[in-house]
Structures are given as structure tokens and as C-alpha cells.
Amino acid sequence: MYSNQLIQLLQTFSRKEMTRFYEFAHSPYFNKHKGVRELLSYLSKMFPDFSESNCDRKILVKEAFPARVLNQQELAIIFTYSLRLAEQFLIYEQFKKNEHFKKLLLLRQLRQREQYRHYEKINYKLQQGLEKNPIKDADYFNLQFLTAAESDQYYAHRSRHEKDHSIQQKQNNLDQYYLAVKLRDSCEMLVRSRIMQIDYSTNLLDILLNAIREHPERYAKNPMVIVYFQIYQMIRDGEQAYYYDALSVIQKNSDSFTKPELQNIYIYLQNFCIEQINKGQTQFLKEAFILYKDQLEKELLLDTNGFLSQWHYKNIVTAGIRLREMSWTYNFIEEYKEKLNPEVIENAYTFNLAAYYYSSNQLEKVLELLVRVEYTDIRYNLAAKSLLLRTYYDLQADEALVSLTRSFSQYLSRNKLIPKHRKQAMSNLVRFTNRAFQIKSNLEFVSREKSKKELIKLENDMTEMTTIINKDWLDQKIEELKMEIF
């Protein structure tokens, strides 16, 4: 019984929602079924502990319906009615949040009842409210379209002969809404087609793109159309100019978008920066860093619970370190530590602080942090071992490095959860680091010529490998060895 569909739905409720649902169920306007009220009274009392001990069928019948005996069929009917009522409650709760739509429905009723004076008063307030709304996204133009459509219905209903612009406003807003949604979906379709190798049909898209190019003034007041127009071309052509144009639109009109829309747009911009960095356009590392700062300021990286993803946390720290924004990065690590989910805070904070200490050459502090945490997440485990490997190398900790390379190699070979390409890239790091360290350790004991040959061989072997984790670091160590040997 505790796995019943109603129980599962109620488990998603907050305490406030459960209290409101209890009141909803006990309102005779919404529910007159006594059995439903009895069941929901019991479940509200048990909330949120819908365990088997509380929701076993026999216990539930005894506690919720003490004055009568129910058979299986009667109980099933009560649960079905209760589930339907819960669905109605969720619809009603969502409906209450949309003031504009409520007024639209009221206008429809007033028109049908020919309450014209009342209608015009409500319609005026409705349109005034829309004009004052700072958000100018697709939903805004859809609401404008629906409002204009209702006004046009009103005009036709009254059969007046004076001039009326509602049908024109209806068409204008329909165009704006259609374009905004069409362009947004086209961006997503373009991305998915590349990832999943799917061919999507984009009917009329070229015509619409040309229409925007030829008459940009018509869409100047719709930042959503303009920004997705630029983003689509940015994704399709990979041109940096479109990135900067889209970024400019967002920076000037961020107040015109809802939080989810802004989050979606920044993802496109962030992914473009990553693509450019991977192509060797290193200036886009700073662009990505700026985007992260903007998103932090606007609180776009926080989830519905107010937590910052540990991977956003790590990526921001990595970008800050690579740009040598050391003071800012340290402050970020400390300030946003408390915004991490408590379940991951120790691992995420410890690793990123260790990465900061490594980059600021405080190697002893790196060891203090890394040896006290055992990472359960494979990604953190690999990253921490990699960082420890580099730290031992730089500290010239012979025994520790040898021990780590052995244990790390065994971990990589035995762990079947690590993706094959990742495992190979990590194995290459371990192997080449060990060889570089051996060359470095033997400089005083072998001839310069032999060291030179071993180093050239190492460099050639590295060149043949397509994937090596921390290759920039290894290249740096090779260059340092060259300066000592050549």
C-alpha cells in the first residue's frame, strides 16, 4: 500500500502543500466524499512518514476508518477518488499562480454574459499589467496574443463598426511568439542533431531567418527573438561574432528573461566557449570565466534547493586557477562552500582547496588535504590521485611517488566503472610521469647523453598518444628537464 500511486504523489509534497491539500479535501465545494476526507486526514497526520508500518493496508484501514469495515474494492475506490482530488489540487495550485490567465477566463465569461462595462474595466487593467511586466519572453508574447484574441472576439461579439486594432495586435504578437519559440527550439534541435545524429525538419526556418535579417527593426523590442537568432547562427556556423552579439543582447536585456530562460541561454554561450577552448582559442577561457561570474551574480547556477552543483564549483575553480585569478578563486572556494549540497561538501571543498594550494605552490598543504579524504565518487578519486601524483613529483618524494604509481595503476586496471578513454588517458599520465621522474632522479648517476636519449624517447612516445590527462603539466615538466639536460 505504501507504494500506491497516491502515496507516491503525496511524498513529493512539502509540508505547506500537504496542509493546503488537507484543507482542499475538507472543503465541501471541492470534495463531499466522507471516505476521502477520512483517508486524507490520516495521511496528513502521518506525513511525511509514509512507511510500510504506517501505510500497510490493515493498519491504514484500522486507523483511518475506525468506525467501519472496508473491503478491498471499497478501499480501492477511496484511493482512486483521493488521487483524482490530488490531481485537481495540483491543477488548482498551478492555476492560482497565473493571474493573467485567470483574468482572461473572467473576460470570456463577462463577454458571454454581455457585461460590457465590467469587461472593459477588467480588460484595461489586464493590458496595463502586461505593459508593466518587465519580462519579455515567449510566454509574454503568447499572453499578449491571447489577450488581443479575446479583445477581437469581444469586438466581433458586439458587432461594432468603429476602428479596432485588436486583430492586428493579435497577429503581431502571434508572429513574435512564434518566432521566439521557433528559434529557441531550432537551437536545441541543432545541438541534438549533432549529439544524437538525428535529422530534424526545420520548416520555414530559412524564410524566418531572412525575415529577421531584412527587418530587424520589427523584432528589436523582442530580445528573445534577437538572442536566439544570434545563438542559432553561432551554433550553426561557429562564428565568434555571433557569440559576442548574443552576449551583448543578454547583458542589455537580462531583466527581460525569466531565470530558466537565462539559464538556458547561458548554457549555449558556455558550451560555445568550451568548443572554442578545445579548438585552441585560449582567449575564450576568460570568456567562460566571465560567464560564470555573471551567472553567480544572477544566482543562475543554484538549483531549486539553493545548492551550487559541485561540478560548477570545480569548473569555476579550475578556470580561476588557469587564469591566475588566485585571490578571487580562494575567496570563491570559501564563500561558496556553504552553498554546496551537504552530501558532497567535504569532498568538493577539500579537493578544490587542494587544487588551489597546488597552483599557488603550497605543496605541503595539498598533501595535508588529500591524504585525509577518501573519495567515493570516481571522478573526484581520479582527479585527486592525479593531483597527488603531480604534487609528489614536484616535491621529489621518491618513495611516495613510486608507491602511488603502483596503486594508481592497479586501481585503473581493476575498476570497470571508469570509461575506457578516461582510463587510457589516466594510465598515460601515470606512465609518463613515472618515466619523467626516473630521468630526473637519475641525472646525477647517468651520462648526459643517455638522459638526453631517454628524454627524446619520452617526448616522442607522448606525441604518439592522442589522450593524456594533464598533458600541459607534463609538457612543462619535459621543458624543465630539457633546460637541465641540453
Q: In the beta sheet, which residues pair with residue 308?
A: 302, 340
Rounded to 5 degrees, φ, ψ at 302 are -90, 140
Mean pLDDT value of segment 55-81: 88
Q: How confident is the model at residue 200 (pLDDT cuts 50, 70, 90)?
A: confident
Claim to verify: residue 231 and residue 282 sit in the same structural domain? yes
**Nearest-angstrom CA–CA distance, 349 and 355:** 10
The rounded percent of the chain whose pLDDT value lies above 90 is 69
**Nearest-angstrom CA–CA distance, 389 and 398:** 11
Claim to verify: residue 216 and residue 67 sit in the same structural domain? no
- Is the pLDDT at 41 greater than 90? The verdict is yes
Q: Is 299 left (phi over 0), alpha (psi -120 to 50) or beta?
A: left
Residue the block writes with cell 541543432: 190
105 within domain boundaries? no
- Is the pLDDT at 212 greater than 70? The verdict is yes
Claim to verify: residue 91 and residue 140 sit in the same structural domain? no
User: How high is the pLDDT of residue 230?
Assistant: 97
pLDDT digits (tens, 9 = 90+) for 371-398: 777 777 888 889 999 999 999 999 999 9
461 within domain boundaries? yes
Which region among 155-159, 224-228, 235-239, 289-293 has the lowest average model confidence (pLDDT)?
A: 155-159
Q: pTM for the complete prediction?
A: 0.81
204 within domain boundaries? yes
Claim to verify: residue 384 and residue 281 sit in the same structural domain? no
Residue-number span of the structural domain to which 52 is assigned: 5-97
Claim to verify: residue 181 and residue 294 sit in the same structural domain? yes
334 within domain boundaries? no
- Residue ending a domain, among 81, 97, 113, is 97
Determine how many CB atoms are found less than 10 A away from the CB of residue 68.
10
Q: How confident is the model at residue 353 (pLDDT cuts 50, 70, 90)?
A: very high
Q: How confident is the model at residue 278 (pLDDT cuts 50, 70, 90)?
A: confident
Determine how many CB atoms are found less than 10 A away from the CB of residue 145.
20
Q: How many domains does the chain have?
A: 3
104 within domain boundaries? no
- Residue ending a domain, among 273, 300, 327, is 300
Mean pLDDT value of segment 81-86: 96
pLDDT digits (tens, 9 = 90+) for 120-151: 999 999 989 888 888 888 888 999 999 999 99
318 within domain boundaries? no
326 within domain boundaries? no
Claim to verify: residue 86 and residue 181 sit in the same structural domain? no
User: How high is the pLDDT of residue 464?
Assistant: 87
Q: Which amino acid, one-letter code, is at 238?
A: G
Claim to verify: residue 147 and residue 292 sit in the same structural domain? yes
Which position has the higher pLDDT, 227 or 374?
227
User: How high is the pLDDT of residue 160?
Assistant: 62
Q: How confident is the model at residue 221 (pLDDT cuts 50, 70, 90)?
A: confident
**Nearest-angstrom CA–CA distance, 287 and 272:** 10
User: How high is the pLDDT of residue 288?
Assistant: 96
349 within domain boundaries? no
Claim to verify: residue 177 and residue 288 sit in the same structural domain? yes
Mean pLDDT of the chain: 91
- Is the pLDDT at 3 greater than 80? The verdict is no
CA atoms within 13 A on the CB side of 169: 17
The burial class, CB within 10 Å (0-12 / 13-18 / 19+), for 41 is middle
The answer to whether the CB of 405 falls within 8 A of the CB of 433 is yes
User: How high is the pLDDT of residue 367?
Assistant: 93
User: How high is the pLDDT of residue 161?
Assistant: 58
User: How high is the pLDDT of residue 188?
Assistant: 94
Claim to verify: residue 153 and residue 285 sit in the same structural domain? yes
Which position has the higher pLDDT, 53 or 177?
177
User: How high is the pLDDT of residue 2?
Assistant: 53
Claim to verify: residue 153 and residue 278 sit in the same structural domain? yes
Q: How confident is the model at residue 1 (pLDDT cuts 50, 70, 90)?
A: low
Claim to verify: residue 86 and residue 138 sit in the same structural domain? no
User: How high is the pLDDT of residue 195?
Assistant: 85
Beta-carbon contacts of 148 under 8 Å, excluding residues fewer than 6 positions away, are: 166, 167, 169, 170, 172, 173
Claim to verify: residue 485 and residue 403 sit in the same structural domain? yes
